[in-house]
Amino acid sequence: MPKVALTTLGCKVNQFETEVMEGLFKKRNYETVSFADQADFYIINTCSVTHLGEKKSRQLIRRAQRLNPKAIIAVTGCYSQIAPEQIQAIEGVNVVIGTKERSKIVDLVERAAEEHNLIMDVTDIMKATEFEDIPLFDMPGRTRAFLKIQEGCSNFCSYCIIPYARGPLRSRKLSSIKVEAEKLVEAGFKEIVLTGIHLGAYGRDLSDDINLVDAARLVLTIPNLKRLRLGSLESIELSKNLFDLICADDRFSPHLHLPLQAGQDDILKAMNRHYTTEEFGRLITYVEESVPGIAISTDIIVGFPGETDEMFEQGLAFAKSMNFAKMHVFPYSKRAGTPAATMKNQVPEIVKKQRVHIMQKMADAKAAAFHEGFIGSDVSVLFEANHDGVFDGLTGNYIRVYVNDRIDCGEIYQVHIEKIYRDGLWGKIC
């Protein structure tokens, strides 16, 4: 039985796509092994959001070659899509696929093994018109299942390469979403996370009458589903209907990830983000009033070209004024091929590092304050893992909770919260 090892860099969408490819290999009677083990085939699903992601991708290619110089190495994902020539130039690469045609991955690696030639299958992603609907043939061993329902992005933020790597908007048909969601629930998953590159744009390419609320409502018709969560959304794409659905069904997790990216209007405009801080703040207030107790997480980029010390302080103050439960803070990373890469007044790396430290310190304080508000309360936790007798899992509003009671992973328990612990909270089973 041939052995295949798969690994993923980047976002939840990439993780889902790797799981789909793993299922294709298992369907063809391949044995999947750890990427740290010797295999006959190595599949590397790459990321190109930052130069660091590309560097890690190259490192993984070289690691695979060291593990087995005779193995077939296939590279797919965003990095392959935007820079296929760079990938093919790396010694040991046999197959290069972009962000399409992954349904052919098994055939392509088998052909490469037979022909001993480099196979390039990177098409013009900007001409893509259909969602690549590949059924899940294997159920990954987790308590939460990611279900990709949307592909492509039309935002074209000035710092982001993803629209060029993923192409135009394409949505999964509602009938396919229901079939895949039912398979996941039948396989024992308690929570489904709907994901996409531009998730809030779901349905625009299908019909004027179809949107993300329709997809969420459809998944919630599955009787044994315990929890539904949404991936990252653009704030300006939220709707009253979505908030009404979250309030109407207690299985809908009260958690939204809404990327702010910058807390200063001049920087938001330079980023080509389509809102102001006033509009974002007003929306957050509306969200909190519409869904009491909701957790809002966000992304912040510091050190964007042209960001002065004064602008950074303004952004810091605005972010501090928001009730964010969690903040992911990143230094701006120059991406060749994006408008921001050629902007004047690039911020020095040392300044970016200092600003990340300051913003992250504030973010950590806000997360701790959010967590402290749950001490003494009872929360519902879906447990995922056991590490030396300490079990951990997530609440509906995305707080990680730890216990040392004897429980079963993959089940939901009520937990009485006692104290702050690590990146979350510690409690006892009720």
Encode pLDDT of 252-292 as tens digits. Answer: 999 999 999 999 999 999 999 999 999 999 999 999 999 98
Residue 138 has pLDDT above 80, yes or no: no
The CATH number of the structural domain formed by 125-253 is: 3.30.750.210
Rounded mean pLDDT of 360-366?
97
pLDDT at 293 (0 to 100): 87
Mean pLDDT, rounded, for 42-55: 91
Q: Residues with Cβ < 8 Å from 249, sequence gap 6 or more?
A: 220, 228
Average the pLDDT over each of 92-96, 100-104, 139-143, 190-194 and give the range with the smallest value. Answer: 139-143
Q: Smallest Cα–Cα separation from 109: which of 91, 133, 93?
A: 93
CB 146 within 8 A of CB 177: no
Mean pLDDT over each residue of the chain, to the nearest integer: 95
The whole-number pLDDT of residue 375 equals 98
The arrangement of secondary structure in 3-123, i.e. its CATH architecture, is 3-Layer(aba) Sandwich (3.40)
pLDDT of 61 over the 90 cut: yes
The predicted pLDDT at position 137 comes to 80
Tokens at residue 13, please?
């969408």
Give yes or no for residue 251 having a pLDDT over 80. Answer: yes
Task: Specify the residue for token string 């295949």.
Answer: 4
- H and E: helices and strands count for the chain: 13, 18
Q: How confident is the model at residue 407 (pLDDT cuts 50, 70, 90)?
A: very high
Q: Residue 393 burial (CB < 10 Å; 0-12/13-18/19+)? A: buried
Query: At 219, is the pLDDT very low, low, confident or very high (cuts 50, 70, 90)?
Result: very high
pLDDT of residue 141: 64
pLDDT for res 33? 97
Please state the rounded mean pLDDT for residues 302-327: 98
Average pLDDT over every residue of 212-219: 98
Q: Which amino acid is at 426?
A: W
- Nearest alpha carbon to residue 121 among 135, 104, 133, 138: 104
- Report the pLDDT averaged over residues 392-401: 97
Q: H or E segment at 391?
A: strand 390-395
- Give the pTM: 0.93
Q: Are 78 and 47 in contact (CB under 8 A)?
A: yes
Q: How far apart are CA 402 and CA 38, in angstroms?
A: 35
pLDDT at 174: 98
Angle at the Cα of 17 (from 13 to 22), degrees rounded to 5?
A: 145
Region 79-94: mean pLDDT is 95
Same fold across 125-253 and 255-371:
yes
Residue 241 has pLDDT above 70, yes or no: yes
Amino acid at 350: I
The residue ranking higher by pLDDT, 142 or 355, is: 355
Say if residues 300 and 359 touch (Cβ distance below 8 Å). yes
93-108 mean pLDDT:
95
Is 70 exceeded by the pLDDT of residue 140?
no
Number of CB atoms found within 10 A of residue 162's CB: 26
What is the pLDDT, as a whole number, of residue 50?
Answer: 83
Q: How confident is the model at residue 220 (pLDDT cuts 50, 70, 90)?
A: very high
The confidence score (pLDDT) of residue 280 equals 97
Higher pLDDT, 134 or 393: 393
Q: Where residue 209 falls among pLDDT bands split at 50, 70, 90?
A: very high
Give the angle 421-422-427 at the CA atoms, nearest 5°. 30
256 within 8 A of 294, measured Cβ to Cβ: yes
Mean pLDDT calculated for residue range 211-235 = 96
Residue 371 has pLDDT above 80, yes or no: yes
CATH fold label, 378-429 = OB fold (Dihydrolipoamide Acetyltransferase, E2P) (2.40.50)
- For residues 402-427, average pLDDT: 96
Average pLDDT over residues 349-366: 98
Mean pLDDT of 362-386: 96
The DSSP element (H or E) to which 43 belongs, if any, is: strand 41-46
Beta bridge pairs of residue 134: none
Closest CA to 163 of 126, 206, 203: 126
Q: What's the confidence (pLDDT) of residue 66? A: 95
May I ask the CATH architecture of the domain 255-371? 2-Layer Sandwich (3.30)
In the chain, where the domains are located: 3-123, 125-253, 255-371, 378-429
